[in-house]
A and B are shown apart, each in its own frame.
Chain A
Amino acid sequence: MTPLSASALPPGFRDLASQDAARRRQTDARLAAIFDARGYREVLPSGIEFLDVYTRGNQVISERAFKFLDREDRLLALRADFTPAVARMVAPRITPGADPMRLWYSGNVFRRVEPRKGGYAEFWQVGAELIGGSTLEHDVEMIALALENLDAVGMSSASVHINHAGIFRGILNAAKLPDTARERLASEIDHKDARALATHLEELGVTAAIGEQVHVLARCIGGPDVLDEAAAVLTDAESRAAIVHLQHLAAALTPHAERLVFDLTEIDEMEYYTGVMFTLLSPARRSPLGMGGRYDLLLRAFGGDSPAVGFSLTMDGIMEGR
């Protein structure tokens, strides 16, 4: 191995020089003021967790975590995602019937990247979690708060692309497909390959009605009218309930109507979402500004039981235009 110079950084990492560091502090202060005004309390979970926290929370993220051993040879991980860490932190303090907890955080997360792809391994996230909030109003509060935060950092061009985990789950459960077929369908939907999807559905011999429902997942992107389009073909109770939920959400978010896109083609990226899920995008940026959603089952993995909804913003992308 060629020795590196004494001033080298490991690949995937960078320093913040004076101006960037000052900008980060100013931005942080601006967002803190918003969270404060909305009644959110700041938390900062430990920077290192047992790896187990991430494997319980999110398999994909845990694979990308930086891992090492403690003195008793237990597997540890650098903070790779805030949501499982916050869930681990608050789960023992959940009391039934208590008021929802409104929490926000700001800090760095670390994920291993492939050098080939040139991504960063350390990035700054700011986000919020509404623990114990189970209603549509709480979903609305999260989306509006995410947009308010983006406005405060000059991202008023941002739009929110909304889906509901119950739609995909409901359609696939109703279609009663074997697991292997579900996996392949998920991959075709994820690729957005309508033709491969159609060929596969034909091979599976599903009914025309079920085929039409799966195609909803490949096609429906747009304003609230795509929800009506989906409602016209969906028949199972779970996906229909999810559509109704999104229709109510659209109505409640009318002040932000021009920033809403309903995108039923995006399936769960984070594994832990159970209801509404959303991605924040701007035409001025090449990667998502952030994402969020409802994760009603995650706290059970840490011995609590509470519905929850949250979002996180990827600040480096927002501030640097990458």
Chain B
Amino acid sequence: MRSTLLIALPKGRLFDAAIGLLQRAGVETDGGVGSRKLTFTDKGGQYEFVALKPADVPVYVESGAVDAGIVGSDVLRELECDVNEPLDLRIGLCRLAVAAIEGSDLTALDHLRIATKYPRTATRFFSARHQHTHIVRLEGSVEIAPILGLADAIVDLVETGRTLKENGLGIVEEIAPVSAKFVVNRTAMKTRNTAVRKLITSLDKVIYAHP
């Protein structure tokens, strides 16, 4: 058995915030900067980190290939992963929302074409309100889809709303608030309980110290 706890971090928008949060919780790392190795350790030698594509983090955690990870709740809900989620990290805060061209009336359509990177989340949301949809699954630059007529609306992450605005889109409705979660493999939660609890406690302290 490995003596360190192996933790997956998401590359991209959450990476720096995650490293910063770990730092404040007393877990010092250089973030793997200047090294070509795929994993890096903290100075205390208790943790080992691997940076992965965000959508791969829950896959690694669920299978137990890593013990724990940090991942956005948007990815977690979309992939419907079976993991423990013991702590909301309050970083990467944004919203998952339905957006459309400013001024368009979606209620006039009885069949909505939705472009999104979140097909399952979108399907769940619209089916709960008995709205028929056709989902177009895209990998990125979703905002362009309504403009080019590929879809009537999009379901996407909204941070400041600037990208939407610049493309003439506006929020129609919010689906859910999004934030990063600390997730733990179900077996590791039990077999490595002491080590996992220790990290959760130090993270919890710095996140919720000044509410």
Contacts and interface: CB of A to CB of B under 8 A. Distances in A.
B84 A191 contact: yes
B187 A285 contact: yes
B189 interface: yes
A26 B121 CA distance: 47
B86 A263 contact: no
Given A117-B63, A283-B1, A193 B88 contact: yes
A286 B1 contact: no
A221 B84 CA distance: 15
Interface residues of B, number: 25
A283 B64 CA distance: 11
A118 B63 contact: yes
A195 interface: yes
Give the secondary structure class of A's interface: mixed
B160 interface: no
B190 A221 contact: yes
B113 to A, nearest CB: 24
A191 B86 contact: yes
Nearest to B64: A286
A195 B187 contact: no
Contact of B88 (A161, A195, A283, A288): A195
Contact of A193 (B1, B62, B64, B87): B87
A124 B157 CA distance: 42
Nearest to B80: A114
Given A193-B86, A195-B208, A286-B65, A221 B193 contact: yes
Nearest to B185: A286
Contacts of A136: none
B85 A193 contact: yes
B59 interface: yes
Contacts, number: 54
A14 to B, nearest CB: 16
B201 to A, nearest CB: 10
Contact of B59 (A117, A196, A284): A117
A281 B187 contact: yes
B63 A286 contact: yes
A191 to B, nearest CB: 4
Contacts of B191: 281-283
Interface in B32-86: 59, 62-65, 79, 81, 84-86
A192 B84 contact: yes
B187 A192 contact: no
Interface string A192-221: 111110000000000000000000000001
Given A117-B63, A193-B86, A286-B187, 12 more contacts: A117-B59, A192-B189, A193-B87, A194-B86, A195-B88, A221-B193, A263-B190, A281-B187, A283-B1, A283-B191, A287-B64, A288-B186
Interface of B: 1, 59, 62-65, 79, 81, 84-88, 184-193, 204, 208
Interface of A: 116-119, 161, 190-196, 221, 261, 263, 279, 281-288
Nearest 6 A/B pairs, CB to CB = A286-B64, A191-B85, A192-B86, A283-B191, A192-B84, A283-B1
